[in-house]
Structure 1
Amino acid sequence: MASPILPGTGLGSGLDISSIVTALVNSDKAAKQTQIDTATKANTLKISGVGSLKSALTAFQTALTNLSSTTNPAFAGYTATSGTPSILSATSDNTAVAGTYNVVVQSLATGSKVASASFAGGATSAIPSGTLKISQNGTDYNVTIPANATLQSTRDAINSAQSSNGISANIVTDSSGASRLVISSNKTGSGSDLTVSGIAGLEIDGTQLMGSNPSASASGAVSALATDASLTIDGLAVTSKSNTVTGAISGLTLNLASVSPGTPPAAATVTVATNTTGLQTSIQSFVDSYNTLMTTINTLSKATADADGKLTVQAAFTGDSLTRSLVSDIRGVLTAPGAGGPLAVLSQLGVMTDRDTGKLAFDTTAFGKAMATSGMSGQVQQLFNGTDATNGLLTRMGAAIKPYVMTGGMLDQRNTGLQSVSKNLKDQQAALDLRVANMTKTLTAKYNAMDLLVGQMKATATSITSFFTSLNAQKSNN
């Protein structure tokens, strides 16, 4: 802060009061100011370090999430490709076996769609109050219909209450203005037909077809009953209640999109092959992400030499147990056995840890030799993705860093403590500045008072001297 000392030399004493007061104040202030400055610099460095470490952990966490994606799996042991994606697509898991399969889709699985008898009054037709019961596969879904309901409000009540169960409703109005309530389900497969009861005028037997030319009083299934998907795999007949066919081919899931065209229908060829190249790319991506994190941790933890190569410059986490604990937790995941099976740890795939830097090194030659073992690609998938939601390496690694990076976690707690220290240091600085100001004011007043006294004494001395000089002059004249 600005000094209240007025510049200039004392008029009475001839002393440089400003310099004297400044020197005295600085001498008193120096030790405490050095302590505050040193602590502030160290604390600011730590706050910055916490931010940098959290950003690095968040980036690593994002990389782990991307690598463990279920929609675009990075560690698929096998690749399943369809020669005709417009008919079907295919995905594989770690139990797949390399091979080729010819698939003919004869029909797709369909859901139930039913319609009520028509209402001449249209969407505003009155509907009695009560409980509307929609039944499917032996399960009843109840919808409360209040008093003064209309066909439109009944539709809205069904959608509000049953959308989470895959059941929806709408209103279809014909050219005469008569309206029907149409209810459909996203559940597919034979036997999943809807039936509706409980409200007069809305009884629907979904196991009966309305017919091609329904009368106004007709109700029932629209177009057709719910059916299973029908297909052949290498000539073997398969049915499925869903258009997502699992279990028909071990390790494969077929996603049916349309019926095979032609007479006879053309088969879609599904090819399953080991994903060696893709797995190598994904392992390298994991190694790179891990090494980026370790580079940040090392930078934030290790002290360095100054420009002269003599003095040691401390880093944000030098000697800090937090980063040592973090590294220990991460390395523990790398060395712990995985989900079971012949492939237990990364070192079996040529991924080794550098003892000095803690970084990973990926020996692709060793990886290639490991992949020559039959079934190893599936084992790689199992090691990284696991056999359940908890035992895969990616999940375990994410769990290891979560306590540090989560909201309210260890890094947030550390930052809260450092921010408290920062506030305390600012309070100390404010108190020191006030003390310096008061001391400066006090010393300046004292030295100015001294200067005034010296001036008065000089004036008195000058007066006395003048008196005696005048007296001596008179004696000389006599």
Structure 2
Amino acid sequence: MNIGDIVKVLVDSDTAAKAGQIKRQTANNSAMISGVASLKGALSTYQAALNKLNDKDSPSFLAFAATSGNDSLVSAKANNSAVPGSYLVEVDKLATSSRVASKVFSGADAPISEGTLEITQNGKVYKVEVGANATLQSVRDSINSALGKDGITANIINDGTGSRLVFGSTTTGKDSDISVAGIPELVIDNTNEMSGDAAGRIGALAIDAEVRIDGIAVTSKSNQLNSTVSGLSLELKAEGSKTTVTVGVNNEGLKKDVQTFVDAYNAVVKTVANLTSTGKDADGNTVLGPLTGDPATRALLASLRSELAVAQTGGGLTSLSQLGINTTKDGTLEFNDVKFSAALNDKKLGGEVQALFTKDDGVIARMNKAIEPFLQSGGTLDKRSDALNRSQRQLESQQEALDYRIESLTASLTKKYIAMDVAVGKLKAQGDSIASLFDALNAQAKKS
């Protein structure tokens, strides 16, 4: 007998149903795990795009744009309160910061007395405690650790003959000069310029920026002028000749930012559509997406869509539809360029676009609020993933148990069929022996 084939057929008949069930459930579960991961990735990408559009340091949806005739002299940025026009800018002096240096020491490991180091700037005294067995280097490290957040830093410069502790600051403008006291060997008087081995300031005292805008003299403690011209920020970069800063409408920039929002939203909708799709294979069988019918996915999409329809109060721009943004039959957004241009050029709504998207109850804030329950740690998608992973582990345990049953049943049946085969072999041998005996008896009878 072909015992192996017989045992395999018997084992398969006993375990095939369970094996098929585990296989189907594992495939479905794996697909759902992958689907949830894809959905979470799409939402994370969408959130990142929203946060970039809502970046306070690099604002989007600006109705006006500023350009400088010489960016190496002056750079410019406009906000939504700017007025189109041009400004003649001439930088006479840049605002400078204070730099002072200690007396010369033998090296970075030179010992420094214990005490309280007092660093004074703009009338404010910053204190740094210097412990026992301190060195020039450890004092430097203590200053940077304690005062780095205040814009005051220190470093050691060796000129080949010795080392100095040099103080610098990000604060600019007149009267922002640094002076140091408290520890005798580190006293620095900023009224004296550094000379020889003595301590003192490096170069001139700190000064204010001096600039002329359309012939009007302006002074500033900073090289960043944020309120000098309404709606315009100027960064002074170099002293030099005149340049012109021009402010104009930013229709193309606004269009680009709005299109970025539309594209980011549509990417999420398309991902959800793929994950929840229903189709047919080549044989006409129905094929379901990994998250088809999933209630959490439906809830997410409904939440996002509902936020698109919210009308804001105040101002002339209250909804996305006024900018030519409408929902299509498949749930994606379409962006009507003609209607958008009319909103900006005819209705003059460009100055309100930023508020529509970025204010505290704007489109971006509401979208972030809608997706947060799904993306947050321990949120809806995390719980869904955890449940699916538990199911996966249970299926793996069931498969292990089934594998053990297959192995045990195979061994048991093989043993029984081998024993049966041996017994049949013995009976056959006995039968052959008896048949031979009768044949011999018959032959002998014929001879007699």
Which of 356, 371, 394 does residue 344 from structure 2 map onto? Answer: 371
Equivalent in the alignment of 2:333: 360
Q: Which residue in 1 is equivalent to 2:43?
A: 57
CA positional deviation for 1:291: 1.5
Change (3 A) 1:279 1:460: same
How far residue 456 of structure 1 moved from its aligned partner, in angstroms, is 4.6
Which residue does the alignment assign to 2:116?
A: 131
- Letter of the 1:244 counterpart: Q
Which one is further off, 219-228 or 30-39? 219-228
The residue aligned with 1:101 is 87
Task: Specify which of 318, 321, 325 is matched with residue 347 of structure 1.
Answer: 321
Are the counterparts in 1 of residues 207 and 221 from structure 2 also a CA contact under 8 Å?
Answer: yes
Report the CA distance between 1:468 and its aligned residue: 5.9
Q: Using the TM superposition, give the Cα deviation of residue 274 of structure 1 relative to its aligned residue in structure 2, in angstroms.
A: 1.2
Q: CA deviation at 1:300?
A: 0.5
Aligned to 1:228: 208
In 2, distance between residues paired with 1:123 and 1:306?
A: 76
Name the SS for the 2:44 alignment partner. Answer: helix
Once the two structures are superposed, residues 280-320 of structure 1 have per-residue CA deviations (whole angstroms, 9 ceiling, x without a partner) of 122222222222221111011122123243x3212110110
Distance in 1 (CA, whole Å) between partners of 2:410 and 2:156 is 87
Residue correspondence of structure 1 range 165-204 to structure 2 within 5 A: 165-170=150-155, 181-204=165-188
1:431 is aligned, of 379, 401, 416, to 401
1:136-166: per-residue Cα shift (whole Å, max 9, x none)?
A: 2232211222345455554444334322321
Q: 1:111 aligns with which of 62, 83, 97?
A: 97
2:124 and 2:239 map into 1 onto residues whose CA distance is 31
* % identical aligned pairs: 46
How far 1:39 sits from its partner (Å)?
Answer: 0.7
Q: Indicate which of 243, 253, 264 corresponds to 2:233.
A: 253
Deviation of 1:338 after TM superposition, in Å, equals: 5.3
Please give the alpha-carbon distance, in whole angstroms, between the structure 2 residues aligned to 1:460 and 1:124.
Answer: 104
Residue 86 of structure 1: aligned partner: 72
Structure 1: where are the runs of 5+ without partners? 1-8, 10-15
Q: Residue 285 of structure 1: which of 248, 251, 260 is its match?
A: 260
Equivalent residue of 2:229, what SS? coil
| Alpha carbons of structure 1 residues 79 and 25: separation in structure 2 relative to 1, 3 Å | same
The reply to whether residue 322 of structure 1 matches residue 292 of structure 2 is no
1:445 aligns to 2:415 (yes or no): yes
Residue 393 of structure 1, CA deviation: 3.0
Aligned mate of 2:278, from 303, 318, 331: 303
Superposition deviation, residue 229 in structure 1: 1.8
Larger Rg, first or second structure (1 or 2): 1
**Matched residue type, 1:414:** R
Unaligned residue ranges in structure 2 (runs of 5+): none
- Describe the SS at the equivalent of 2:228: coil
- Alignment of 1:419 with 2:403, yes or no, is no
Whether contact under 8 Å (2:105, 2:164) holds in the other structure is no
SS at the partner of 1:248?
strand
Q: TM-score, normalised by structure 2?
A: 0.87
Instruction: Identify if the C-alpha distance between structure 1 residues 374 and 470 changes in structure 2 by more than 3 Å, giving closer, same or farther.
Output: closer
For 2:313 and 2:177, how far apart are their aligned partners in 1? 42
| Contact 2:343/2:350 (<8 A) preserved | no
Q: Which residue of 1 aligns with 2:147?
A: 162
Instruction: State the shift of 1:255 in Å.
Output: 0.6
Structure 2 CA distance for aligned equivalents of residues 394 and 409 of structure 1: 20
Q: Which amino acid aligns with 2:263?
A: D
Moved more, 149-158 or 182-191: 149-158
Matched, 1:335 2:309: yes
Q: 1:269 aligns with which of 244, 252, 276?
A: 244
2:303 maps to a residue whose letter is D
Change (3 A) 1:214 1:469: closer
2: CA distance between counterparts of 1:222 and 1:246?
Answer: 29
**In 1, are the aligned partners of 2:144 and 2:152 still within 8 Å (CA)?**
yes
Distance 1:167 1:463, change over 3 A: closer
SS in 2 for 1:105: strand
Calculate the aligned-residue CA RMSD, in Å: 3.3
Shift of 1:247: 1.2
The partner residue of 2:222 within 227, 239, 242 is 242
> What is the distance in 2 between the residues matched to 1:472 and 1:179?
127
The offset of 1:86, in angstroms, is: 2.0
CA distance in 1 between counterparts of 2:444 and 2:316 reads 127
Change (3 A) 1:359 1:235: same
What is the identity, as a one-letter code, of the residue corresponding to 1:302?
S
Q: Distance in 1 between matches of 2:381 and 2:52?
A: 23
User: What residue number does 1:13 align with?
Assistant: none
Q: Quick check: 1:141 aligned with 2:122?
A: no
Residue 307 of structure 2 contacts residue 363 of structure 2 at CA under 8 Å; is this kept in 1? yes
Does the 8 A contact of 2:15 with 2:406 survive in 1? yes
CA distance in 2, matches of 1:411, 1:198: 58
**Pick aligned residue for 1:313 from 259, 279, 287:** 287
Shift in CA distance, 158/473, structure 1 to aligned 2, threshold 3 Å: closer
User: Is the 1:133–1:196 contact (alpha carbons within 8 Å) kept by the matching residues of 2?
Assistant: yes
Question: How has the CA–CA distance of structure 1 residues 384 and 471 changed in structure 2, closer, same or farther, with 3 Å as cutoff?
Answer: same
8 Å CA contact 1:287, 1:362 repeated in 2: yes
Matches of 1:62 and 1:124 in 2, distance apart? 48
Rate the CA distance shift 1:428–1:83 in 2: closer, same or farther, 3 A.
Answer: same
The 3-state SS of whatever aligns with 2:14 is: helix
Specify whether residues 32 and 188 from structure 1 end up closer, same or farther in structure 2 by C-alpha distance, changes over 3 A only. same
Q: Does the 8 A contact of 1:94 with 1:382 survive in 2?
A: no
Conserved? CA contact 1:124–1:152, under 8 Å: yes
Shift of 1:110: 1.8
Amino acid at match of 1:316: P
Secondary structure of 2:72's aligned partner: coil
